Amino acid sequence: MLFTDQAVQCTENIDCWSFDVLSANRVANGQILRHVTTDLLNRYGLIHKFKIQTAVLENFMIQMESGYNTYKNPYHNSIHAADVTQTTHYMLFQAGLANWLTDMEVFAMLFAAVIHDYKHTGTTNNYHVMSRSDIALIYNDRSVLENHHLSETFRLLKDQNLNILQNLSRDEYRDFRSLVIEMVLGTDMTSHFNHLKIMKKLLAHQEFSVDKAKGMALVLHCCDISHPSKEWRVHYHWTKLLLEEFFQQGDKEKELGLPFSPLCDRNTTPVAESQIGFINFIVSPSMEVLGTFLDKVQLALTRDIGPGEGSLSAEHEEKTAPNPRIRSIQASGKGIKSVSFDLGMILESTIKQNLL
């Protein structure tokens, strides 16, 4: 089921910034998340490396898709998860980030992207707190949804028929889990400004001194809010879906006599203005920091590699060359540096176009 012609067809453009996940989902009969995930785990060699059984992966992905679609959310559903996973792959592969990470870390990044909104209720953290929901009580009003996505996912993994991490060693599992928790908690918008400030400070140092977990969390957060930097049609569609979800929350708030959350009143929300604000104050500054971070990663890698190719130390090569696909792309002349330049150009020009 996971390796059919249909699976191949719907993931055809998976390496491209212009990958249209909404159309791909139609080709995939609504199952794009399982196809994107399986294709990527396979291509990064992670199914082999971590001895993931195909049947277990299939069971896990069926549960993922069904959990994502429990509340029939217009935006926070399995297609959004597939979008964030494919964009994360773009950062790993085209921007060369995978060369900086071990296999386990690449696996953790893709896994975090797949599960980052699992069982999303279609309502915001603010709504959970204000309506005193069960999950707000469980997580004491702190990063309610993000804790919920993580906890529900790791609960799934207690069933061996679903546990795609069953062949990780005890230490690998501990490190993997800790990275995934840091990344998914980092998608909470309340930590956005603080995290960006810390990252900017770290990047201003002469020496490249960014902690891997922090860097990985920045990447996932940027991928999560990346749709304004995609093609207009794709961005427009995502915005319409998210606002419809927000408006449905506003309808519930009205019914419960709660104050409207920001952007949730369908009668008074100025859509275009709010989007310009979101792009100018949130997305653009994030992408700028991401660009600097990716440039620094590549600079650090280039320094390690030295002027001639192949001069990586054996230890470094083992740590930083997780994926033969990436090596072969480099060998075919598409060096990391030029690809990074492309990425900066793509982000800058599409964001500007979308603002016009």
Q: Which of 83, 146, 224, 245 binds Zn ion (CB under 5 A)?
A: 224
Question: Is residue 117 near Mg ion by the rule CB under 5 A?
Answer: yes
Q: Which of 31, 187, 226, 298 binds ligand AMP (CB under 6 A)?
A: 187
Residue written as token pair 């959970």:
128
Q: Which does 278 bind (CB under 5 to 8 A by kind): Mg ion, ligand AMP, Zn ion, none?
A: ligand AMP
- Tokens representing 320? 């930083």
CA-nearest of 155, 153, 167 to 111 is 153
Enumerate residues 69-108 that contact ligand AMP by CB under 6 A: 76
| CB-count burial class (<10 Å; 0-12, 13-18, 19+) for 131 | middle
Which residue, 39 or 224, is less far from ligand AMP as judged by CB?
224
- 107 vs 113: CA distance, rounded Å: 10
Give the nearest distance from C-beta 90 to Zn ion in angstroms: 16
3-state secondary structure string across 266-293:
CCCCCHHHHHHHHHHHHHHHHHHHHHHH
Residues 132, 256 contacting (CB under 8 angstroms): no
Question: Is residue 182 near Zn ion by the rule CB under 5 A?
Answer: no
Which residue, 224 or 253, is less far from ligand AMP as judged by CB?
224
DSSP-derived letter for residue 54 is H
Q: Which stretch binds Zn ion (CB under 5 A): 112-120, 137-145, 303-311, 342-350?
A: 112-120
- Tokens representing 258? 């709660």
Binding string, residues 176-195; x marks residues near Mg ion by CB under 5 A: -----------x--------
Which residue, 185 or 339, is less far from ligand AMP as judged by CB?
185
76 is catalytic: yes
- 100 vs 300: CA distance, rounded Å: 9
Question: Is residue 245 near Mg ion by the rule CB under 5 A?
Answer: no
Binding stretches for ligand AMP (CB under 6 A): 76, 117, 187, 189, 224-225, 239, 242, 275, 278
